[in-house]
Structure 1
Amino acid sequence: MVDLVMEHAGVTPTAPSVSWSADLTTRDGYVFHVRPASPADEPALGAFFDHVDKEDLRFRFLSAINTVGHDQLRALVTVDHEHTENFLAFDPATDRIVATAMLAADESRIHAEVAIAIRTDFKRRGISWTLLDHIAAFARAKGITTLESIESRDNHQAIDLERERGWIASACPGDPASMMLRLTLSA
């Protein structure tokens, strides 16, 4: 069924990058498991977003939403793995999703946009920092040279984190409420 949905939408089904599944450790020593999302993760991803603060949902989707609906969830778990990967981070004690990190490359696979969301009760554990490193390594391996993130100007935590990691901030063309952050990846 997923293959038919993807083919109907003009997306050629490809396998997720399972070789990028890993146990990661934050600077503070918190260990979590990360792996690419699959269509079977849709219910767990829905439960995850139920535990993301409304303000963080606004920051993640750049719009005022109260819930993440079925169509949005399906789009996050049914991706063209040639250009897009959605990594899910799991707490090993509960096996619940605690974060999601999406990387979506342009057709040339030279530039990619990044979006991260963290479960509210797992913030300030270094998960975002660690996921950014994981995504950057994944992007380098795929030949992507530039990562971009569009952030609400109100999302000071994300902007500060990305700047600490070497991302360069600039105005977002046509959107005074947002900022564009870019990271040039070295080979």
Structure 2
Amino acid sequence: MCTSTTVGVPITITPARREDRALLEAFFERVSPQDLYYRFLTGMKKVDKQRIDAMVRDDDDLSIDFLALDSKTEEILATAILVAENDFETAEFAMCTRDDAKGKGISWALLDHAARYAEAMGVKRIYSLQSAAHSDALQLEQEMGFKVRPSPDDPALKLVEKTF
């Protein structure tokens, strides 16, 4: 899907495919350690082969990864994963955006796409666990109508959710 962000940046949003493996490796090489932590909620220095393999799988009916590509260079600017529970009532999401792509409406467009996709699939609620320190993401999600509250299990995390 070709679109423009709220500030006019042309992007293409597409599901990740097996042939996107090298693009994903290049993307994560450009993601800061802090943003890797925000995406995976663990202190990793590099995204391993198994995680990238899972992102490009096309045989999992419960999970889909979306890529926001620069429409000119076709480089990945941001990724979002959506993982439905078995009953398809609820799905978890997580996102990651390159530092040089922030503040351009890319995360907004990608999260909006993932949320609309989930709703079209019959999902009733999407949620994410976010670091309480990830203020930009929390602000974006609140602006998009997500409710943000403390995680009942970890004071360092916030539970972000939206009901359709």
- TM-score interval for Structure 1 and Structure 2 normalised by the shorter chain: over 0.9
Superposed, 1:167-182 pairs within 5 Å as 167-182=146-161
Paired residue type of 2:57: T
Q: Do structure 1's residue 78 and structure 2's residue 57 form an aligned pair?
A: yes
Q: CA shift at 1:81, angstroms?
A: 4.2
Q: How much has 1:95 moved relative to structure 2?
A: 1.2
Shift of the alpha carbon at 1:80?
Answer: 4.2
Q: Distance in 2 between matches of 1:54 and 1:133?
A: 25
Give 3-state SS (helix, strand or coil) of 1:131's partner.
Answer: helix
Q: Could you say what secondary structure the match of 2:141 adopts?
A: helix
| Partner residue, 1:132 | 111
* 1:22-41 matches, cutoff 5 A: 22-41=1-20
Runs of 4+ aligned structure 1 residues displaced above 6 Å come to: none
Among all aligned residue pairs of Structure 1 and Structure 2, give the percentage whose two residues are the same amino acid: 37
Length, aligned pairs only: 164
> TM-score of the superposition, structure 2-length normalised?
0.96
Structure 2 CA distance, aligned partners of 1:137 and 1:74?
25
Work out whether 1:152 is the aligned partner of 2:134: no
SS of 2:142's partner is: helix
Contiguous gaps of at least 5 residues in structure 2:
none
Aligned residue for 1:99? 78
For residue 33 of structure 1, report the CA deviation from its aligned partner. 0.6
Q: RCO greater where, 1 or 2, for CA within 8 Å and sep 6 or more? A: 2
Report the CA distance between 1:79 and its aligned residue. Answer: 4.8
Are 2:35 and 1:49 aligned? no
Q: Offset at 1:173?
A: 2.4
| Aligned alpha-carbon RMSD (Å) | 1.1
Which residue matches 1:18? none
Deviation at 1:91, TM superposition (A): 0.6
TM-score (norm 1): 0.84
